[in-house]
Amino acid sequence: MATGKKATRQRRIVEVLGTQPTLRVSDLAAQLDVSTETVRRDLDELTDAGLISRTYGGAVRRLSLEPGLNERHTLWVPQRQCIARLAVPLLAGAKHIMIGSGSTTVHVSNRLAFEMNNLTVVAHSFGVATALAMNPTITVLIAPGHYHAQEGALHGAQTLRFLEGYRADWAILGASGLKEDGASDALIEAAEVYAAMVRRAARVMVVADSSKFDEPFPAHYAAWDDIDVLVTETPPKGALARAIAAGGARVVAHASGPAAGEPQAFAAGTTPTA
């Protein structure tokens, strides 16, 4: 990417497209207080760099970039509520938990605040901390670090050093994508934090809806043999299911999706019946 004012402007374009999936050249020019010709040149350079996709008269977020947290909170809500209902009972007996950032982990945290007591939770997400604050018996330790406004979370070297001072019974982590090689995230900085939590936890739970299946993202943070359980609303199939089974991870899901009744645990690689 370019340097100086151009770099600042181009980073702003990418950030805006993280919260608004499509924008017109004229709108970007007004927001950035530059000419439409300048915006067009920026869009061309960002497209060449693979960061966005150009459209007639504007640009859209590249499909492999994950939406901003505020936008994600409005998506797949029934599925994420289902995942939260399935996840929390698995934590019975835990006293120390680490929770990563993301919209699904906020749903889990909301449920956890209603169903569990006397916990210590290490978090780096303000959304997670706010959800847990509803329960006065839960102690929340917030990691320091560099604040990522779009994600509402703290990342960086300070965050990683902080996590090294703690151990947990469980790490609960979201993911942007799940492939045969494991879990990944759109943000390299977030993936570094998740990987640190994996190292410091006795057991690892990934909570992710089925829209994440077979989606590639750049920052790989855990292989399936690092993960104890995947909680989702619909069990994976095909090559992904076989890879999960080979890694020894368990899948907990509803056979019929978020409206189904009791949770079921599946040996990954098999197809359940509704």
The domains found in the chain, sorted by start residue, are: 4-61 (1.10.10.10), 71-266 (3.40.50.1360)
Of the pLDDT bands very low, low, confident and very high (cuts 50, 70, 90), residue 5 is confident
Element (H, E) at 150: none
Could you report the per-residue pLDDT of 24-72, keeping only the tens digit for each? 888 888 888 899 899 888 888 887 776 677 776 777 665 444 555 444 4
User: Is the per-residue pLDDT at 82 higher than 90?
Assistant: yes
| Confidence label for 136 from pLDDT (cuts 50, 70 and 90) | very high
Q: What is the mean pLDDT of the chain?
A: 85
User: Residue 242 carries which side chain, given as an amino acid letter?
Assistant: R
Q: What is the pLDDT of residues 184-238, one digit of tens each?
A: 998 889 999 999 999 999 999 999 998 889 887 888 999 999 999 999 999 999 9
Q: What is the 3-state secondary structure (H, E, C) of 78-111?
A: HHHHHHHHHHHHHHCCCCEEEECCCHHHHHHHHH
What Cα–Cα distance (Å) separates residue 243 from each residue in 84, 133, 246? 24, 37, 5
| pTM for the model | 0.70
Query: What pLDDT score does 256 carry?
Result: 46
Residue 261, pLDDT score:
44
**Structure confidence at residue 218 (pLDDT):** 81
Write the burial class of residue 261 (CB in 10 Å: 0-12 exposed, 13-18 middle, 19+ buried).
exposed
Report the DSSP beta bridge partners of residue 23.
59
What are the residues facing 53 on neighbouring strands?
60
- The rounded percent of the chain whose pLDDT value lies above 70 is 82
